[in-house]
Chain A
């Protein structure tokens, strides 16, 4: 198989336990180039754990992870990021005391490989600031550039979080409940920002808001108690009985 034909991300037979607690068993999913895959499941299903394994914060007990055909199962997190695999965290993880611009610039410099510069790095600093400002302009947050992140509204903080990831110019972006705690309008705006700013992006989106997931994702995977019980188009998932049961009555059909 040539590298081009390989899926953007392939997860094969991944399993993980914490002590006696089996959190993931035999999970296999692939993410096509340019695809948006929704990942849903009740609390504690193992969604975040799957992200942690894909991004290298945890090592799986079994199975492998491949990025564009390359095995990265045991690579360090920073290596994966430099290969274009970027994530956000369930809890906002921007640096609260640094300015919005500085937050984005940290990412931009990491991406350009100038994150460790010391003497004579003035140019890199300016370039990263410009890249940050450009993203902020396109997300209509330019006038917030100087503010510390802690001074923004919660909705804006979550957008900054996503912008920081986009400043890494990822090829694969994993979003862990980016819309949690946002109003519907804010949530939709955030997704809009990702869609317009992320070019050629393959995305996995975890969200509990099924409207959003079914609205924007090409396919949806359902995780329950660490098992992948379905992975199909939104319409098929809405009709899927196991998926319905996992959400305990919250009828998936109604959500859309």
Chain B
């Protein structure tokens, strides 16, 4: 049987700097510049929107670890993210919304749900993994949806204390667009570096090995469950960190955050951005949320647009839009060079 997850996300674990011409420092400088531009031109609303893109992008990044490197296509990923979002929202009401505390709560929740998921799905692969993760996710959704006293049921939770950052000198409120954008930026960057280090470390290589040839990996003395569990925990931690900030962007978290359609949305984002590329998570999240926000102000048919973009990506750019466009441009340059 062909496995559910080969054919996409052949990933170079080498740092990009080795492959391309720009030196590392120049790239960092460019990136910093690009990140600073919105601060100059974007209003509060747009900055919050960018923060949302970065936060959801971070969750998608954590999904990329599983899909792109482990071949584990999960339809229950929203549980890590949404579960952490609920945990942070609930904890904020009693503990206050110190950003460090929130992140700790989120990461712990993300890892705990990953552990739960891991124990259940451990022995399944391919479509069986897909469906079992979906079932686990939906069980959690049912609980969230019906446990009104704690989760607010269908209405979700609103109105949290202001997210704050305690430094040695002062307490900074993170309740405006600029602060939220910067916080999300730091989160996204840290998550990206953590994910990058994961995939280049021995554990990441081992995970890639389990995707390619499970039998061979056991014959090399690797424990497949252990590798999977570690990948799930890493992924859960990152998704949990993202989830912890999510409620504070729109001052709301609802049961949709743990629904399987949220997981499916993350997969769509991941595929549009490029499976196994890590950075693609943010591109995909920007494209999806961009369509959702801006197209929906012109027409009700934004889902049609998202669907079309997604299907076209799958059909003509299965490695994601960035790789696809790059390849298309490369081809044109080649053609020009030859003529």
Contacts and interface: CB of A to CB of B under 8 A. Distances in A.
Q: Do chains A and B touch in the complex (CB under 8 A)?
A: yes
Interface of A: 55, 57, 76-78, 81-82, 86-87, 89, 93-98, 102, 105-107, 109-111, 114-119, 121, 124-125, 128, 164, 168
B197 interface: yes
A115 B219 contact: no
A106 B212 contact: no
The list of the 9 closest CB pairs from A to B, nearest first, reads A81-B221, A77-B218, A93-B216, A110-B221, A117-B202, A118-B201, A78-B223, A121-B201, A109-B202
Interface string B225-242: 011001000100000000
A98 B198 CA distance: 17
Given A97-B10, A110-B222, A116 B202 contact: yes
A106 B223 contact: no
A55 B223 contact: no
Contacts of A121: 201-203
Given A89-B215, A93-B213, A107 B201 contact: no
B53 to A, nearest CB: 27
A56 B10 CA distance: 31
Interface of B: 10, 197-198, 201-206, 208-209, 212-213, 215-216, 218-223, 226-227, 230, 234
A121 B204 CA distance: 11
Contacts of B226: 116
A110 B220 contact: yes
B219 A118 contact: no
Contacts, number: 89
B202 A125 contact: yes
A115 B222 CA distance: 8
A76 B222 CA distance: 10
B202 A95 contact: no
Nearest to A128: B202
A97 B203 contact: no
B202 A115 contact: yes
Contacts of A93: 213, 215-216, 219
Contact of A106 (B197, B201, B205, B215): B205
B215 A116 contact: no
Contact of A77 (B205, B209, B219, B234): B219
A95 B202 CA distance: 15
B11 to A, nearest CB: 10
Contacts of A118: 197-198, 201-204, 230, 234
Contacts of B206: 106, 109-110, 115-116
Contacts of B219: 55, 77, 81, 86-87, 89, 93
Given A97-B10, A102-B205, A115-B206, A78 B218 contact: yes
Among A86, A96, A109, max chain B CB count under 10 A is at: A109
Contacts of A55: 219
B216 A95 contact: yes
A95 B201 contact: no
B215 A57 contact: yes
A7 to B, nearest CB: 22
Given A76-B218, A115-B203, A118-B202, 18 more contacts: A57-B218, A77-B218, A77-B219, A95-B212, A97-B212, A109-B205, A115-B221, A116-B203, A116-B206, A116-B226, A117-B203, A118-B201, A118-B230, A119-B197, A121-B203, A124-B202, A128-B202, A164-B220
A244 B293 CA distance: 78
A51 B219 CA distance: 12
B203 to A, nearest CB: 5
26 contacts: A76-B218, A76-B223, A78-B223, A86-B221, A89-B215, A89-B216, A89-B219, A93-B213, A95-B212, A95-B216, A106-B220, A107-B221, A109-B202, A110-B206, A111-B221, A115-B202, A115-B221, A116-B226, A117-B201, A118-B198, A118-B202, A118-B230, A119-B197, A124-B202, A125-B201, A128-B202
A121 B206 CA distance: 13
A256 to B, nearest CB: 32
